[in-house]
A and B are shown apart, each in its own frame.
Chain A
Amino acid sequence: MSGQKKEFPITWGMVIDIDKCTGCGACMASCQTENNVEPQREASNKLRATSWMLVYELTNDKAFPNHDIAYLPRPCQQCGNPPCVSVCPVIATDKNENGGIVSQVYPRCIGCRYCVAACPYHVRYFGWYDPIWPEGMDKTLSPMTSVRPRGVVEKCTFCHHRWTQAKDAARVAGKDPENLDDGAYVTSCVQNCPSGALAFGDIKNPKHKVHELVKSPYAFRLLERLGTETQVYYISRREWVRKLGDNYLKSE
């Protein structure tokens, strides 16, 4: 992978404890409503459905009774060295802000979908249709996220608006907005997961829980060998789960 990892003083990161995830989908529900993703009638067509957060089912591929499963929630990995950014012809997506969240500027996006193809984690969604809410349901749209027309690409933003809100709240409370307390800014999925499987914070801040969590011997990142240096970490005590995090050859 060409390019270099971008470093920022703050590095927002998510740590997902796979061993606690039941696969319930509450994180997806949280995400969709937080970020004004329309309710999709034909959502069983996964090639067309939009889900910034998507829960994958992993299996160890063994037959009964040695079969095992795990669930892997997948937001945008906010790569330190994002392949999506370098391919965008109009800089509609960039990694240029403290915190390291990869931006997505809808009015700038020309819908060429290079980034969709470039993202190794399939987190990017193209709007094939204009979004439609059942009559009246648009009254429940969140003011924090704009509604996207058809023809642009969208993806998880680590609920970036919540960071802005947390900084504002810190300023009002006379605290340093650049040094938020642990938990002052978390994404919607992290907040609502009933299992407490998701953690969020500044990986570089020793006062934040995730700072330690990412150092766990059980922590891994997806497709680490690509050198994308993602800001999303996974934790599992099961070796087969950790192995699935990368494309290993049978002999490895």
Chain B
Amino acid sequence: MGLDRRAFLGLVAGGTVGAMFTPIPWKLIDDASIWTQNWPWIPRVPKGQVDYVATTSKLCPAGEGLKIMRVAGNPILAGGNASHPLSCGGVSALARSEVYMLYSPARIKSPMKRNGKTFAPITWEQALVEMAEKLGAAKGAVASISGDNTGTINEVLTALTAKLGSAGSFMMPSEATTAAKAMKLMGVQGQAGYDFENADMVLVLGADIFETWGTSSRNRKAFGANRPAGAKPANTYVYVGPTRNNTAAVCDQWVPAAAADLGVVALGIAWHLLKAGATSNAPGFDTFKAVVNGGFGPEDVKRATGIAPETLATIAKALASAKAPLVVTGSPFGQGLGAAPVIAGMSLNMLLGRINKPGGVSMLPELPSVVPGALTRAAMLDGDLPAFLKGVESGKTPAPKALLIYDANPAYGLPEAATMAKALEKIPFKVSFSSFMDETAALCDLVLPNSLPLERYDDVATPYGSGFCVYSLVRPIQKPICDTKTTGDVLLGLARKLSIDLKFDNFQQVIKEKVASLTKVSGGFVAKDVMPWQVAAGKPAPALVGGDLWKALEAGYAWTMVGQAAQPAMGFAAEVLAKAVKAGKPATATVLAPYAQLRTGTPVTGMPCQDLTMVPDTELKGDTTFIRVNSETAKALSLKKGQSVKLSGAGVDCQAKVHIFESVMPGMVAAPLGFGHTAFDYYSQGKGANYLSLAAVAEEPGSGLSMWIAPEVKIA
């Protein structure tokens, strides 16, 4: 085009004044402006019939059901599914990305083999041969890591690892791993499920329940449903944690407390409840009482946490007088918490009589497994990956000869990144099944890209935090765009090559069998007209019509079940509390208070392309991320607004700029996670720093669990 808009406008402006009164120039301007916009390099929108199909988000850990809008059969937009109990119509920014991430520049387009410092594409057959050979040779020392907390793929992965001679099958650390450890120490089985829908007073200890903790979209819908706009809320939420994060921003009260003190706060509240006469038949109550009365009186707690005695007394009173109080404990950044604070929080639920009650906590049973020789979810969650890798790094634990990495990015998403990277280096053969070129894939010998959730069969079984058992289907609604395969199929193909019998030929069969197994679980039903929280509140559960389950799941409904597994009474695990929770002196060092947000993706997705726009310029500007301190801390550390600083911890340095934000506790440095990628694409790479790498891992006394909840940092 010879004439651009600007030149054209100049031309028009030169000679028109005299012709203002005739309509012709106006008509010409209109025509010409249409013509100047006829630009062939602007993409055209697709045309064709519009329809909607259902699936479930797998990229977003909140597990929302999705309705995908398609045009001529191609997915266009991912929206919430109003009939799915974990969405109720809502979707996170991350779940929204399921469609456009199909075309993420970070996608791995074909299987690849390391060739010195770079990768060379290979065929799937070559990949299988190579893998069979290397894994055959590594027999007896094969480890696996999964970052998928909810998929039946873990059964295939762990069964195969076991048959190859397992050196350990690990889950990436998360809220679920911490909670599983706590429940084990309290002597119960199953996954703690929180019934927000029926609770009227919720005390949130640390957990960012409306952002990164568990079924966050569902948690928010439950929160909002009882808070009609402009009217008096029918529930009360109190948040305890180091910053007024996204959760605290909408809670009725924020009680500032260091993440390291969450257990102290819980036991401080227990003190008030005990004083008011709370009691329990549960094992260990007497020891618990002695521990609480011995060191968590109002003055002890005040000295340790700075929280005024009246504050905790009022919260205890509100909990005791609520109809359906609920206490939920977690890490403000979704990982790194010890088991003891979760035990302490759970003991409040026990004192309040909230176990297996509507609006309380239930120990949700695991769904039946279908792949012979697979680890249960509980067994997988029991592994301690940071401890294992630290052992490998120091030489205390023999390094596995081969490592299979599924849906996980340990080179980026673990604390003490420098140590973890050294440990990974010691493992001679590593395979990543990542869909995106992440930091871990970049270290591997083989990269065998998984198809994305919209291109494969997969499933979501009871994400951590859900108040009920829930199962929903992920199904292919688009042919793989690149030369990728469903990892389940690849692993089963590999098993065949190695003459290992895993019972199934392809992953779709595994999923079908899983669904068939659900029809045998008593009490299960399809959430359609009746939602699981209504059943928890007393409404009869509808019957399950067996043959239709697959169809119902395909249509986007979820299978659900309410109530907990039959089991021995939950104990107080007071001996763990005695060792791990101490109302000591407040920390004098500067403490990192990381926070995570779904809009910056997960370690596996990197920054979703559209989401950079959502990041405020007080969090990322240019290529620098900001830490947040309040003005008191800034003064104490001589920091100025906008100043460039260096943070050091765990042998790593990170750059940052300073943002003054008053809703951070004194002495704390709040730092956003999800930045500082060295891999992925231009939306992620080089944007800020990965502050998780500053966190040193310590062992929690009493439980032995790795924890990194309150890392000390130096600022210069």
Chain A residues at the B interface, C-beta cutoff of 8 Å: 15, 17, 19-26, 28-30, 32-34, 36-37, 39-41, 43-46, 49-51, 55, 57, 59, 62-65, 67-71, 90, 106-111, 130-131, 133-149, 151-152, 188, 191-197, 199, 213, 216-219, 235, 237
Contact = CB atoms under 8 A, between A and B. Distances in A.
B502 to A, nearest CB: 35
State the 8 A-B residue pairs at the shortest beta-carbon distance, nearest first: A194-B90, A25-B614, A67-B662, A216-B230, A39-B609, A29-B93, A137-B103, A138-B43
B698 interface: no
A106 B223 CA distance: 40
A193 to B, nearest CB: 6
Given A22-B250, A44-B622, A55 B614 contact: yes
Most buried by A among B92, B220, B622: B220
B613 A197 contact: no
B220 A195 contact: yes
A144 B46 CA distance: 9
A64 B663 contact: yes
B84 interface: no
B105 A191 contact: no
A151 B618 CA distance: 28
Given A57-B616, A142-B76, A194-B91, A36 B45 contact: yes
Interface in B140-159: none
Contact of B37 (A44, A51, A69, A106): A106
A62 B661 CA distance: 10
Interface in B580-622: 597-599, 608-618, 620-622
A17 B230 contact: yes
Contacts of A194: 64, 80, 90-92, 216-217, 220-221
B249 A149 contact: no
Interface stretch (B28-36, B433-441, B488-496): B28-36
A26 B227 contact: no
B476 interface: no
B338 to A, nearest CB: 26
Interface stretch (B94-102, B117-125, B533-541): B94-102
B330 to A, nearest CB: 16
Contact of B683 (A39, A110, A217): A39
A139 B211 contact: no
A199 B256 CA distance: 32
B317 to A, nearest CB: 21
Contacts of A142: 45, 69, 71, 76-77
B103 A136 contact: yes
A146 B45 contact: yes
A64 B244 CA distance: 10
Given A40-B613, A149-B37, A219-B230, A64 B632 contact: yes
A188 B79 contact: yes
A246 B102 CA distance: 43
A113 B29 CA distance: 17
A57 B616 CA distance: 9
Contacts of B599: 24-26, 29
B45 A43 contact: no
A30 B69 CA distance: 13
Given A57-B616, A218-B230, A22 B220 contact: yes
Contact of A69 (B76, B104, B244, B622): B244
A17 B614 contact: no
Interface of B: 5, 9, 29-30, 33-34, 37, 39, 41-48, 50, 64, 69, 71, 74-77, 79-80, 89-93, 96-97, 99-100, 102-105, 210-211, 216-217, 220-221, 223-225, 227, 229-231, 244, 246-247, 249-250, 256, 481, 597-599, 608-618, 620-622, 630-632, 662-666, 681-683, 687
A21 B229 CA distance: 11
Contacts of A24: 92-93, 210-211, 246, 597-599
B102 A140 contact: yes
A143 B71 contact: yes
A135 B620 CA distance: 25
Nearest to B75: A140
Contact of B665 (A30, A64, A68, A139): A64
Given A24-B598, A25-B93, A143 B45 contact: yes
A139 B664 CA distance: 43
B615 A44 contact: yes
A116 B217 CA distance: 35
A139 B103 contact: yes
A213 B620 CA distance: 36
A47 to B, nearest CB: 9
Most buried by B among A25, A43, A131, A191: A25
A32 B211 CA distance: 20
Contacts of B64: 194
A26 B89 contact: no
Contacts of A131: 42-43
Nearest to B608: A29
Contact of B44 (A37, A68, A147): A147
26 contacts: A20-B224, A20-B229, A21-B250, A22-B249, A23-B246, A23-B249, A26-B92, A29-B614, A33-B610, A43-B612, A45-B617, A57-B618, A64-B664, A110-B5, A134-B103, A136-B481, A141-B46, A141-B76, A143-B45, A148-B42, A191-B79, A193-B90, A195-B224, A218-B230, A219-B230, A235-B229
Most buried by B among A23, A24, A71, A137: A24
Given A29-B97, A32-B610, A131-B43, 5 more contacts: A22-B249, A23-B246, A26-B599, A29-B93, A146-B45
Contacts of B97: 29
Most buried by A among B47, B74, B229, B620: B229
Contacts of A191: 79-80, 89
